[in-house]
Chain A
Amino acid sequence: MRQPDQTEAPDYAVELNACSKEFTTPHGGTYQAVQDIDLKVEPGRFVSIVGPTGSGKSTILHMAAGLLEPSAGTAASFGVPVRGVNRRASYMFQQDALLPWKTVIDNVSLGLTMAGVPKPEANDRARRWLEKVGLKNFTDRYPHQLSGGMRKRTSLAQAWIVDPDILLMDEPFSALDVQTRQIMENELLALWQESGKAVVFITHDLDEAIALSDEVIILGAGPGSTVVGRYDITIPRPRDLLEIRDDPQFVELHREIWGRLKIEVSRTYQSTVRQEGGAA
Protein backbone atom coordinates (compact mmCIF):
# COMPACT_ATOMS: atom_id res chain seq x y z
CA MET A 1 0.00 0.00 0.00
CA ARG A 2 1.13 3.52 -0.84
CA GLN A 3 2.49 5.53 2.09
CA PRO A 4 0.81 8.91 2.53
CA ASP A 5 3.35 11.53 1.59
CA GLN A 6 2.50 15.04 2.73
CA THR A 7 4.85 16.76 0.27
CA GLU A 8 3.59 15.39 -2.99
CA ALA A 9 0.16 13.98 -2.17
CA PRO A 10 -2.65 15.87 -3.88
CA ASP A 11 -5.35 17.31 -1.64
CA TYR A 12 -7.89 14.56 -1.46
CA ALA A 13 -11.50 15.51 -1.04
CA VAL A 14 -11.84 12.72 1.48
CA GLU A 15 -8.86 11.23 3.23
CA LEU A 16 -9.07 8.68 6.02
CA ASN A 17 -5.72 7.42 7.29
CA ALA A 18 -5.73 4.19 9.33
CA CYS A 19 -9.06 5.15 10.89
CA SER A 20 -10.61 2.88 13.49
CA LYS A 21 -13.79 3.36 15.44
CA GLU A 22 -14.81 1.74 18.69
CA PHE A 23 -18.19 2.10 20.32
CA THR A 24 -19.06 1.54 23.95
CA THR A 25 -21.83 -1.01 24.26
CA PRO A 26 -24.66 -0.51 26.76
CA HIS A 27 -23.10 -3.26 28.90
CA GLY A 28 -19.85 -1.31 29.23
CA GLY A 29 -17.86 -3.33 26.72
CA THR A 30 -16.40 -2.03 23.49
CA TYR A 31 -17.41 -2.86 19.98
CA GLN A 32 -14.87 -2.41 17.23
CA ALA A 33 -16.89 -1.26 14.22
CA VAL A 34 -14.09 -0.63 11.71
CA GLN A 35 -10.33 -1.01 11.80
CA ASP A 36 -7.46 0.60 9.88
CA ILE A 37 -9.57 2.13 7.18
CA ASP A 38 -7.63 3.94 4.45
CA LEU A 39 -9.82 5.85 2.06
CA LYS A 40 -8.68 8.45 -0.41
CA VAL A 41 -11.08 10.09 -2.79
CA GLU A 42 -9.84 12.62 -5.32
CA PRO A 43 -12.06 15.56 -6.26
CA GLY A 44 -14.47 14.60 -9.02
CA ARG A 45 -14.21 10.84 -8.37
CA PHE A 46 -17.15 8.56 -7.71
CA VAL A 47 -16.20 5.90 -5.18
CA SER A 48 -18.52 3.21 -3.86
CA ILE A 49 -18.10 1.23 -0.68
CA VAL A 50 -19.66 -2.20 -0.70
CA GLY A 51 -19.76 -4.61 2.18
CA PRO A 52 -21.94 -7.11 3.97
CA THR A 53 -24.44 -6.07 6.64
CA GLY A 54 -22.76 -4.79 9.79
CA SER A 55 -19.45 -4.04 8.13
CA GLY A 56 -19.42 -0.46 9.39
CA LYS A 57 -20.12 1.28 6.09
CA SER A 58 -22.10 4.08 7.73
CA THR A 59 -19.40 4.51 10.38
CA ILE A 60 -16.86 5.26 7.65
CA LEU A 61 -19.14 7.85 6.10
CA HIS A 62 -19.86 9.42 9.48
CA MET A 63 -16.11 9.78 10.08
CA ALA A 64 -15.64 11.41 6.68
CA ALA A 65 -18.52 13.79 7.48
CA GLY A 66 -17.15 14.69 10.89
CA LEU A 67 -20.28 13.38 12.61
CA LEU A 68 -18.10 10.78 14.33
CA GLU A 69 -14.53 11.20 15.46
CA PRO A 70 -12.24 8.26 14.71
CA SER A 71 -10.95 6.43 17.80
CA ALA A 72 -7.60 6.11 16.05
CA GLY A 73 -6.24 7.50 12.82
CA THR A 74 -6.92 10.81 11.14
CA ALA A 75 -9.61 12.22 8.88
CA ALA A 76 -8.88 15.08 6.53
CA SER A 77 -10.61 16.90 3.72
CA PHE A 78 -8.72 18.96 1.12
CA GLY A 79 -5.62 18.82 3.27
CA VAL A 80 -7.39 20.14 6.37
CA PRO A 81 -8.07 17.84 9.34
CA VAL A 82 -11.80 17.27 9.86
CA ARG A 83 -12.89 18.85 13.15
CA GLY A 84 -16.58 18.89 13.81
CA VAL A 85 -18.87 18.75 10.83
CA ASN A 86 -17.13 18.83 7.45
CA ARG A 87 -18.56 21.99 5.90
CA ARG A 88 -17.49 21.07 2.37
CA ALA A 89 -19.59 17.92 2.41
CA SER A 90 -23.28 17.14 2.06
CA TYR A 91 -24.74 13.96 3.43
CA MET A 92 -27.64 11.98 2.03
CA PHE A 93 -28.95 9.65 4.69
CA GLN A 94 -30.37 6.19 4.29
CA GLN A 95 -33.38 7.11 6.40
CA ASP A 96 -35.74 9.97 5.72
CA ALA A 97 -33.93 13.03 6.97
CA LEU A 98 -36.28 15.72 5.69
CA LEU A 99 -37.78 17.86 8.42
CA PRO A 100 -41.40 16.71 8.50
CA TRP A 101 -42.66 20.12 9.67
CA LYS A 102 -41.20 21.98 6.72
CA THR A 103 -42.62 22.05 3.23
CA VAL A 104 -40.62 20.66 0.32
CA ILE A 105 -39.33 24.08 -0.69
CA ASP A 106 -38.40 25.04 2.87
CA ASN A 107 -36.55 21.76 3.26
CA VAL A 108 -34.61 22.27 0.05
CA SER A 109 -33.73 25.90 0.79
CA LEU A 110 -32.78 25.15 4.41
CA GLY A 111 -29.03 24.92 3.81
CA LEU A 112 -29.11 28.30 2.06
CA THR A 113 -31.29 30.16 4.55
CA MET A 114 -29.19 28.88 7.45
CA ALA A 115 -26.11 30.21 5.66
CA GLY A 116 -27.75 33.63 5.54
CA VAL A 117 -28.99 33.71 1.93
CA PRO A 118 -32.06 35.99 1.80
CA LYS A 119 -35.34 34.08 1.70
CA PRO A 120 -36.50 35.18 -1.79
CA GLU A 121 -33.20 34.23 -3.39
CA ALA A 122 -33.05 30.92 -1.49
CA ASN A 123 -36.58 30.14 -2.66
CA ASP A 124 -35.71 30.96 -6.27
CA ARG A 125 -32.74 28.65 -6.19
CA ALA A 126 -34.75 25.92 -4.42
CA ARG A 127 -37.43 26.21 -7.10
CA ARG A 128 -34.82 25.74 -9.82
CA TRP A 129 -33.54 22.62 -8.06
CA LEU A 130 -37.01 21.24 -7.60
CA GLU A 131 -37.61 21.70 -11.30
CA LYS A 132 -34.40 19.82 -11.98
CA VAL A 133 -35.51 16.84 -9.91
CA GLY A 134 -39.04 16.94 -11.31
CA LEU A 135 -40.88 18.23 -8.26
CA LYS A 136 -41.83 21.76 -9.27
CA ASN A 137 -45.52 21.05 -8.67
CA PHE A 138 -44.92 19.80 -5.16
CA THR A 139 -43.12 22.75 -3.58
CA ASP A 140 -45.72 23.38 -0.89
CA ARG A 141 -46.30 19.78 0.14
CA TYR A 142 -45.13 18.33 3.42
CA PRO A 143 -42.81 15.30 3.25
CA HIS A 144 -45.48 12.85 4.43
CA GLN A 145 -47.55 13.78 1.39
CA LEU A 146 -44.84 12.55 -0.98
CA SER A 147 -43.93 9.08 -2.18
CA GLY A 148 -40.64 7.50 -1.15
CA GLY A 149 -39.05 8.37 -4.49
CA MET A 150 -40.18 11.98 -4.27
CA ARG A 151 -38.78 12.28 -0.77
CA LYS A 152 -35.41 11.00 -2.04
CA ARG A 153 -35.46 13.58 -4.82
CA THR A 154 -36.15 16.29 -2.28
CA SER A 155 -33.21 15.02 -0.21
CA LEU A 156 -31.04 15.04 -3.32
CA ALA A 157 -31.97 18.65 -4.05
CA GLN A 158 -31.45 19.55 -0.38
CA ALA A 159 -27.94 18.07 -0.44
CA TRP A 160 -26.92 19.54 -3.82
CA ILE A 161 -28.28 23.06 -3.45
CA VAL A 162 -25.48 24.09 -1.08
CA ASP A 163 -23.02 23.17 -3.85
CA PRO A 164 -20.79 20.92 -1.74
CA ASP A 165 -17.43 19.63 -2.95
CA ILE A 166 -18.16 16.22 -1.49
CA LEU A 167 -21.33 14.16 -1.48
CA LEU A 168 -21.59 11.41 1.08
CA MET A 169 -24.43 9.05 0.24
CA ASP A 170 -25.45 6.29 2.61
CA GLU A 171 -27.53 3.72 0.73
CA PRO A 172 -29.72 6.58 -0.44
CA PHE A 173 -31.90 4.49 -2.74
CA SER A 174 -32.12 1.24 -0.80
CA ALA A 175 -35.69 1.86 0.33
CA LEU A 176 -36.94 2.38 -3.24
CA ASP A 177 -38.41 -0.12 -5.63
CA VAL A 178 -36.16 -1.35 -8.47
CA GLN A 179 -37.63 0.88 -11.20
CA THR A 180 -37.61 4.09 -9.18
CA ARG A 181 -34.14 3.25 -8.08
CA GLN A 182 -32.78 2.98 -11.63
CA ILE A 183 -34.35 6.29 -12.51
CA MET A 184 -32.78 7.88 -9.45
CA GLU A 185 -29.38 6.38 -10.27
CA ASN A 186 -29.58 7.86 -13.75
CA GLU A 187 -30.55 11.25 -12.37
CA LEU A 188 -27.69 11.13 -9.90
CA LEU A 189 -25.14 10.35 -12.62
CA ALA A 190 -26.51 13.13 -14.81
CA LEU A 191 -26.13 15.62 -11.96
CA TRP A 192 -22.70 14.42 -10.97
CA GLN A 193 -21.22 14.22 -14.48
CA GLU A 194 -18.71 17.01 -14.86
CA SER A 195 -19.83 18.64 -11.61
CA GLY A 196 -16.34 18.04 -10.27
CA LYS A 197 -17.77 16.78 -7.00
CA ALA A 198 -16.35 13.82 -5.16
CA VAL A 199 -18.94 11.19 -4.28
CA VAL A 200 -18.64 8.48 -1.65
CA PHE A 201 -21.53 6.13 -2.19
CA ILE A 202 -22.43 3.34 0.18
CA THR A 203 -24.47 0.41 -1.01
CA HIS A 204 -24.87 -3.28 -0.42
CA ASP A 205 -25.78 -3.74 -4.07
CA LEU A 206 -22.72 -4.59 -6.16
CA ASP A 207 -24.54 -3.97 -9.46
CA GLU A 208 -25.33 -0.43 -8.37
CA ALA A 209 -21.76 0.16 -7.19
CA ILE A 210 -20.13 -0.98 -10.44
CA ALA A 211 -22.63 0.81 -12.65
CA LEU A 212 -22.12 4.17 -10.97
CA SER A 213 -18.51 4.28 -9.81
CA ASP A 214 -14.93 4.96 -10.84
CA GLU A 215 -13.74 2.79 -7.97
CA VAL A 216 -15.35 0.09 -5.84
CA ILE A 217 -14.05 -0.64 -2.36
CA ILE A 218 -14.95 -3.91 -0.65
CA LEU A 219 -15.23 -4.07 3.11
CA GLY A 220 -14.68 -7.27 5.06
CA ALA A 221 -17.14 -8.85 7.46
CA GLY A 222 -17.63 -7.04 10.78
CA PRO A 223 -16.86 -6.51 13.60
CA GLY A 224 -13.57 -4.73 13.11
CA SER A 225 -13.97 -4.81 9.37
CA THR A 226 -11.38 -3.32 7.09
CA VAL A 227 -10.84 -2.79 3.36
CA VAL A 228 -10.29 -6.14 1.64
CA GLY A 229 -10.33 -5.08 -2.00
CA ARG A 230 -10.18 -2.09 -4.35
CA TYR A 231 -11.24 -2.23 -7.96
CA ASP A 232 -10.99 0.45 -10.64
CA ILE A 233 -14.06 0.55 -12.82
CA THR A 234 -12.89 1.56 -16.26
CA ILE A 235 -16.18 1.28 -18.11
CA PRO A 236 -16.26 4.45 -20.26
CA ARG A 237 -18.60 7.31 -19.46
CA PRO A 238 -21.23 8.45 -20.08
CA ARG A 239 -22.82 5.18 -19.12
CA ASP A 240 -26.28 3.98 -19.99
CA LEU A 241 -27.43 2.46 -16.74
CA LEU A 242 -30.35 0.66 -18.33
CA GLU A 243 -28.03 -1.28 -20.67
CA ILE A 244 -24.86 -1.46 -18.61
CA ARG A 245 -25.62 -4.81 -17.00
CA ASP A 246 -25.16 -6.52 -20.41
CA ASP A 247 -21.82 -4.82 -21.08
CA PRO A 248 -19.06 -7.52 -21.25
CA GLN A 249 -16.74 -5.33 -19.17
CA PHE A 250 -19.42 -5.00 -16.51
CA VAL A 251 -20.01 -8.74 -16.47
CA GLU A 252 -16.29 -9.46 -16.13
CA LEU A 253 -15.82 -6.92 -13.29
CA HIS A 254 -18.91 -8.16 -11.53
CA ARG A 255 -17.66 -11.75 -11.66
CA GLU A 256 -14.28 -10.75 -10.28
CA ILE A 257 -15.51 -8.49 -7.47
CA TRP A 258 -18.35 -10.78 -6.47
CA GLY A 259 -15.80 -13.57 -6.09
CA ARG A 260 -14.19 -11.50 -3.31
CA LEU A 261 -17.36 -10.06 -1.79
CA LYS A 262 -18.98 -13.50 -1.65
CA ILE A 263 -16.42 -14.68 0.91
CA GLU A 264 -17.19 -11.78 3.24
CA VAL A 265 -20.93 -12.10 2.80
CA SER A 266 -20.87 -15.79 3.68
CA ARG A 267 -18.60 -15.11 6.67
CA THR A 268 -21.10 -12.56 7.95
CA TYR A 269 -23.93 -14.98 7.31
CA GLN A 270 -22.22 -17.82 9.14
CA SER A 271 -21.37 -15.73 12.19
CA THR A 272 -24.98 -14.53 12.33
CA VAL A 273 -26.21 -18.10 12.15
CA ARG A 274 -23.73 -19.11 14.86
CA GLN A 275 -24.89 -16.29 17.12
CA GLU A 276 -28.52 -17.14 16.63
CA GLY A 277 -27.80 -20.81 17.17
CA GLY A 278 -25.90 -19.97 20.35
CA ALA A 279 -28.69 -17.77 21.63
CA ALA A 280 -31.40 -20.36 21.01
Chain B
Amino acid sequence: MSTTTERTGRNAGVARQRPRRRAGVTGPGVRAGQVGLTVLVLIAWELLCRVGVIDDFFFPRPSEILKTVWEWVGSGFVFPHLLITLEEAALAFITGAAAGLLLGFLLARVHFLEQLFEPFLKMFNALPRVVLAPIFLLWFGLGIWSKVAFGFTLVFFIVFFNTLEGVKSVDRVLIDNARMLGASERQLLRHVFIPSALTWIFSSLHISVGFAITGAVVGEYLGASAGMGYAIAQAQGVFDTTGVFAGMFILMFVVLIIDLLVNRVERHLLRWRPTNNG
Protein backbone atom coordinates (compact mmCIF):
# COMPACT_ATOMS: atom_id res chain seq x y z
CA MET B 1 0.00 0.00 0.00
CA SER B 2 1.29 3.42 -0.84
CA THR B 3 -0.22 5.17 2.15
CA THR B 4 2.34 4.70 4.85
CA THR B 5 1.01 5.21 8.33
CA GLU B 6 4.09 6.66 9.89
CA ARG B 7 3.04 8.36 13.09
CA THR B 8 5.21 10.97 14.67
CA GLY B 9 3.46 11.10 18.01
CA ARG B 10 3.34 14.85 17.63
CA ASN B 11 0.60 14.36 15.12
CA ALA B 12 -1.82 16.31 17.22
CA GLY B 13 -4.33 16.90 14.47
CA VAL B 14 -5.52 13.36 14.26
CA ALA B 15 -4.16 11.65 17.33
CA ARG B 16 -6.36 13.87 19.46
CA GLN B 17 -9.56 12.52 18.00
CA ARG B 18 -11.33 10.20 20.31
CA PRO B 19 -11.89 6.69 19.03
CA ARG B 20 -15.50 6.01 18.28
CA ARG B 21 -17.70 3.14 17.33
CA ARG B 22 -18.18 2.68 13.63
CA ALA B 23 -21.25 1.16 12.11
CA GLY B 24 -20.68 -1.68 9.69
CA VAL B 25 -17.47 -3.13 11.12
CA THR B 26 -19.16 -6.09 12.82
CA GLY B 27 -18.37 -9.44 11.29
CA PRO B 28 -20.98 -11.96 10.09
CA GLY B 29 -20.42 -14.08 13.20
CA VAL B 30 -21.33 -11.22 15.49
CA ARG B 31 -24.39 -10.35 13.40
CA ALA B 32 -25.64 -13.94 13.58
CA GLY B 33 -25.06 -13.92 17.32
CA GLN B 34 -27.04 -10.72 17.73
CA VAL B 35 -30.00 -12.07 15.76
CA GLY B 36 -29.79 -15.35 17.68
CA LEU B 37 -29.80 -13.55 21.03
CA THR B 38 -32.83 -11.44 20.05
CA VAL B 39 -34.78 -14.50 18.95
CA LEU B 40 -33.76 -16.39 22.10
CA VAL B 41 -34.90 -13.61 24.45
CA LEU B 42 -38.20 -13.16 22.61
CA ILE B 43 -38.93 -16.91 22.64
CA ALA B 44 -38.05 -17.20 26.33
CA TRP B 45 -40.27 -14.21 27.11
CA GLU B 46 -43.15 -15.66 25.09
CA LEU B 47 -42.82 -19.11 26.69
CA LEU B 48 -42.49 -17.79 30.24
CA CYS B 49 -45.67 -15.78 29.68
CA ARG B 50 -47.51 -18.80 28.33
CA VAL B 51 -46.59 -21.05 31.28
CA GLY B 52 -47.46 -18.23 33.69
CA VAL B 53 -44.05 -17.47 35.21
CA ILE B 54 -44.32 -13.89 33.94
CA ASP B 55 -47.58 -12.07 34.48
CA ASP B 56 -48.69 -11.04 31.03
CA PHE B 57 -50.75 -8.21 32.39
CA PHE B 58 -47.52 -6.35 33.23
CA PHE B 59 -45.31 -7.96 30.58
CA PRO B 60 -47.53 -8.71 27.60
CA ARG B 61 -46.41 -11.48 25.28
CA PRO B 62 -44.15 -10.40 22.41
CA SER B 63 -46.62 -11.91 19.98
CA GLU B 64 -49.38 -9.70 21.39
CA ILE B 65 -47.18 -6.63 21.24
CA LEU B 66 -46.25 -7.34 17.63
CA LYS B 67 -49.91 -7.85 16.81
CA THR B 68 -50.79 -4.47 18.34
CA VAL B 69 -47.91 -2.80 16.51
CA TRP B 70 -49.21 -4.36 13.31
CA GLU B 71 -52.74 -3.14 14.03
CA TRP B 72 -51.60 0.40 14.83
CA VAL B 73 -49.47 0.54 11.72
CA GLY B 74 -51.92 -1.33 9.49
CA SER B 75 -54.93 0.76 10.49
CA GLY B 76 -52.92 3.95 10.17
CA PHE B 77 -53.84 4.83 13.76
CA VAL B 78 -50.25 5.50 14.78
CA PHE B 79 -49.17 7.76 11.93
CA PRO B 80 -50.83 11.03 12.93
CA HIS B 81 -49.44 10.61 16.44
CA LEU B 82 -45.98 9.74 15.16
CA LEU B 83 -46.06 12.69 12.79
CA ILE B 84 -46.96 15.12 15.57
CA THR B 85 -44.18 13.75 17.79
CA LEU B 86 -41.61 13.91 15.01
CA GLU B 87 -42.69 17.42 14.12
CA GLU B 88 -42.24 18.55 17.72
CA ALA B 89 -38.91 16.74 17.97
CA ALA B 90 -37.67 18.20 14.69
CA LEU B 91 -38.60 21.74 15.71
CA ALA B 92 -37.03 21.29 19.14
CA PHE B 93 -33.92 19.81 17.58
CA ILE B 94 -33.50 22.48 14.92
CA THR B 95 -34.05 25.43 17.24
CA GLY B 96 -32.09 23.89 20.11
CA ALA B 97 -29.14 22.87 17.97
CA ALA B 98 -29.04 26.21 16.14
CA ALA B 99 -29.12 28.19 19.39
CA GLY B 100 -26.56 25.85 20.99
CA LEU B 101 -24.19 26.12 18.03
CA LEU B 102 -24.51 29.87 17.78
CA LEU B 103 -24.01 30.57 21.46
CA GLY B 104 -21.31 27.89 21.71
CA PHE B 105 -19.24 29.48 18.94
CA LEU B 106 -19.84 32.98 20.26
CA LEU B 107 -18.84 32.21 23.83
CA ALA B 108 -15.85 30.14 22.77
CA ARG B 109 -14.51 33.05 20.70
CA VAL B 110 -15.37 35.91 23.06
CA HIS B 111 -13.80 35.14 26.38
CA PHE B 112 -15.59 37.97 28.19
CA LEU B 113 -19.02 36.63 27.26
CA GLU B 114 -18.04 33.16 28.39
CA GLN B 115 -17.05 34.43 31.80
CA LEU B 116 -20.18 36.56 31.99
CA PHE B 117 -22.61 33.78 31.15
CA GLU B 118 -20.89 30.84 32.77
CA PRO B 119 -22.68 30.84 36.18
CA PHE B 120 -26.11 31.34 34.60
CA LEU B 121 -25.63 28.55 32.10
CA LYS B 122 -24.40 26.27 34.88
CA MET B 123 -27.49 27.15 36.92
CA PHE B 124 -29.95 26.36 34.16
CA ASN B 125 -28.10 23.21 33.29
CA ALA B 126 -28.24 22.06 36.90
CA LEU B 127 -32.02 22.41 36.86
CA PRO B 128 -33.67 19.02 36.21
CA ARG B 129 -35.31 19.88 32.92
CA VAL B 130 -38.43 17.77 33.52
CA VAL B 131 -39.71 20.27 36.08
CA LEU B 132 -39.99 22.80 33.27
CA ALA B 133 -42.59 20.73 31.45
CA PRO B 134 -45.56 21.78 33.65
CA ILE B 135 -44.69 25.46 33.43
CA PHE B 136 -44.26 25.25 29.66
CA LEU B 137 -47.65 23.60 29.52
CA LEU B 138 -49.13 26.64 31.24
CA TRP B 139 -47.19 29.09 29.12
CA PHE B 140 -47.58 27.51 25.71
CA GLY B 141 -50.71 25.42 26.09
CA LEU B 142 -51.56 21.86 25.13
CA GLY B 143 -50.42 22.23 21.50
CA ILE B 144 -47.03 21.42 20.03
CA TRP B 145 -45.20 24.52 21.27
CA SER B 146 -45.00 23.46 24.92
CA LYS B 147 -43.28 20.26 23.75
CA VAL B 148 -40.98 22.14 21.39
CA ALA B 149 -39.96 24.47 24.20
CA PHE B 150 -39.29 21.54 26.50
CA GLY B 151 -37.26 19.66 23.88
CA PHE B 152 -35.38 22.86 23.14
CA THR B 153 -34.08 23.10 26.71
CA LEU B 154 -32.87 19.51 26.51
CA VAL B 155 -31.15 19.83 23.12
CA PHE B 156 -29.72 23.29 23.61
CA PHE B 157 -27.46 22.51 26.55
CA ILE B 158 -25.96 19.38 25.06
CA VAL B 159 -25.15 21.07 21.77
CA PHE B 160 -24.00 24.25 23.50
CA PHE B 161 -21.55 22.59 25.89
CA ASN B 162 -20.16 20.31 23.21
CA THR B 163 -19.67 23.17 20.77
CA LEU B 164 -17.99 25.30 23.43
CA GLU B 165 -15.65 22.48 24.31
CA GLY B 166 -15.06 21.59 20.67
CA VAL B 167 -14.09 25.10 19.66
CA LYS B 168 -11.93 25.64 22.73
CA SER B 169 -10.04 22.40 22.23
CA VAL B 170 -8.91 23.29 18.70
CA ASP B 171 -5.19 22.73 18.32
CA ARG B 172 -3.33 26.02 18.83
CA VAL B 173 -0.90 25.22 16.00
CA LEU B 174 -3.73 24.90 13.48
CA ILE B 175 -5.04 28.34 14.42
CA ASP B 176 -1.56 29.89 14.28
CA ASN B 177 -0.86 28.28 10.94
CA ALA B 178 -4.11 29.51 9.42
CA ARG B 179 -3.47 33.02 10.76
CA MET B 180 0.04 33.03 9.31
CA LEU B 181 -1.50 32.07 5.97
CA GLY B 182 -3.65 35.18 6.22
CA ALA B 183 -6.93 33.92 7.70
CA SER B 184 -9.43 36.51 8.89
CA GLU B 185 -11.64 35.77 11.89
CA ARG B 186 -14.40 34.60 9.56
CA GLN B 187 -12.03 32.38 7.60
CA LEU B 188 -10.68 30.93 10.84
CA LEU B 189 -14.22 29.98 11.77
CA ARG B 190 -14.91 28.41 8.41
CA HIS B 191 -11.64 26.58 7.80
CA VAL B 192 -10.52 25.74 11.34
CA PHE B 193 -13.08 26.05 14.12
CA ILE B 194 -16.19 24.62 12.51
CA PRO B 195 -14.54 21.54 10.98
CA SER B 196 -12.56 20.96 14.13
CA ALA B 197 -15.61 21.24 16.37
CA LEU B 198 -17.64 18.96 14.09
CA THR B 199 -16.49 15.79 15.83
CA TRP B 200 -17.77 17.16 19.13
CA ILE B 201 -20.91 18.52 17.60
CA PHE B 202 -21.69 15.17 16.01
CA SER B 203 -21.22 13.23 19.21
CA SER B 204 -23.71 15.66 20.72
CA LEU B 205 -26.12 15.32 17.78
CA HIS B 206 -26.53 11.61 18.42
CA ILE B 207 -27.57 12.30 21.98
CA SER B 208 -29.61 15.39 21.24
CA VAL B 209 -31.71 13.72 18.53
CA GLY B 210 -32.74 11.21 21.18
CA PHE B 211 -33.37 14.02 23.66
CA ALA B 212 -35.51 15.96 21.23
CA ILE B 213 -37.79 12.94 20.91
CA THR B 214 -37.69 12.33 24.67
CA GLY B 215 -38.73 15.94 25.20
CA ALA B 216 -41.64 15.62 22.80
CA VAL B 217 -42.89 12.33 24.25
CA VAL B 218 -42.57 13.37 27.91
CA GLY B 219 -44.30 16.67 27.11
CA GLU B 220 -47.15 14.84 25.40
CA TYR B 221 -47.40 12.40 28.23
CA LEU B 222 -47.97 15.24 30.70
CA GLY B 223 -50.65 16.91 28.64
CA ALA B 224 -51.53 16.86 24.98
CA SER B 225 -54.23 15.97 22.50
CA ALA B 226 -52.08 14.04 20.07
CA GLY B 227 -48.65 12.43 19.69
CA MET B 228 -46.95 9.19 20.66
CA GLY B 229 -46.71 10.20 24.31
CA TYR B 230 -50.42 10.92 24.26
CA ALA B 231 -51.18 7.54 22.63
CA ILE B 232 -49.09 5.76 25.25
CA ALA B 233 -50.75 7.72 28.07
CA GLN B 234 -54.16 6.79 26.66
CA ALA B 235 -53.23 3.11 26.59
CA GLN B 236 -51.94 3.33 30.14
CA GLY B 237 -55.18 5.02 31.20
CA VAL B 238 -57.16 1.90 30.28
CA PHE B 239 -54.50 -0.49 31.67
CA ASP B 240 -53.59 -1.55 28.15
CA THR B 241 -49.96 -2.55 28.78
CA THR B 242 -49.75 -4.08 25.33
CA GLY B 243 -50.49 -0.68 23.85
CA VAL B 244 -47.81 0.94 26.05
CA PHE B 245 -45.24 -1.58 24.87
CA ALA B 246 -46.33 -1.22 21.25
CA GLY B 247 -45.82 2.54 21.48
CA MET B 248 -42.39 1.98 23.00
CA PHE B 249 -41.31 -0.38 20.24
CA ILE B 250 -42.49 1.92 17.48
CA LEU B 251 -40.61 4.86 19.00
CA MET B 252 -37.51 2.72 19.40
CA PHE B 253 -37.48 1.79 15.72
CA VAL B 254 -38.09 5.32 14.56
CA VAL B 255 -35.22 6.65 16.69
CA LEU B 256 -32.94 3.88 15.41
CA ILE B 257 -33.67 4.84 11.81
CA ILE B 258 -33.03 8.52 12.54
CA ASP B 259 -29.76 7.65 14.26
CA LEU B 260 -28.68 5.67 11.21
CA LEU B 261 -29.30 8.72 9.05
CA VAL B 262 -27.25 10.90 11.41
CA ASN B 263 -24.48 8.30 11.14
CA ARG B 264 -24.56 8.58 7.34
CA VAL B 265 -24.23 12.35 7.40
CA GLU B 266 -21.51 12.13 10.03
CA ARG B 267 -19.48 9.64 8.03
CA HIS B 268 -19.65 11.88 4.99
CA LEU B 269 -18.69 15.07 6.81
CA LEU B 270 -15.94 13.43 8.84
CA ARG B 271 -14.49 11.40 5.96
CA TRP B 272 -11.11 13.04 6.48
CA ARG B 273 -10.60 11.20 9.73
CA PRO B 274 -8.42 8.12 9.88
CA THR B 275 -10.39 4.98 10.57
CA ASN B 276 -9.09 2.91 13.44
CA ASN B 277 -8.14 -0.01 11.27
CA GLY B 278 -6.99 1.97 8.23
Interface residues of chain A, those whose CB is within 8 Å of chain B, are 65, 67, 85, 87, 89-91, 93-103, 110-111, 114-115, 141-149, 158, 162, 175
Contact = CB atoms under 8 A, between A and B. Distances in A.
Interface of B: 3-8, 10-14, 173-174, 176-184, 187, 191-192, 195-196, 198, 270, 272-274
A274 to B, nearest CB: 28
B185 to A, nearest CB: 12
Contacts of B12: 95-96
Given A96-B10, A100-B13, A144-B14, A110 B195 contact: no
B274 A148 contact: no
A67 B10 contact: no
In the A-B complex, the 4 residue pairs with the closest CB atoms: A97-B177, A111-B181, A100-B13, A147-B4
Contact of A110 (B4, B14, B191): B191
A100 B273 contact: yes
Given A114-B187, A144-B14, A99 B195 contact: yes
B182 A142 contact: no
Given A95-B12, A100-B272, A114 B173 contact: no
Contacts of A94: 10
Contacts of A175: 8, 10
Nearest to A62: B176
B177 A91 contact: yes
Contacts of B6: 147-149
A93 B273 contact: no
A175 B14 CA distance: 16
5 contacts: A93-B176, A101-B196, A144-B13, A145-B274, A148-B6
Contacts of A101: 195-196, 198, 270, 272-273
Contacts of A141: 3
A111 B3 CA distance: 26
B14 A97 contact: no
A145 B14 CA distance: 11
A165 B272 CA distance: 32
A34 B109 CA distance: 29
A145 B180 contact: no
B182 to A, nearest CB: 5
Contacts of A110: 178, 181, 191
A85 B187 CA distance: 15
Contacts of B187: 114
Contacts of B176: 67, 91, 93, 97
Nearest to A145: B3
A90 B10 contact: no
Nearest to B1: A145
Nearest to A158: B181
Given A95-B173, A101-B272, A141-B3, A111 B182 contact: yes
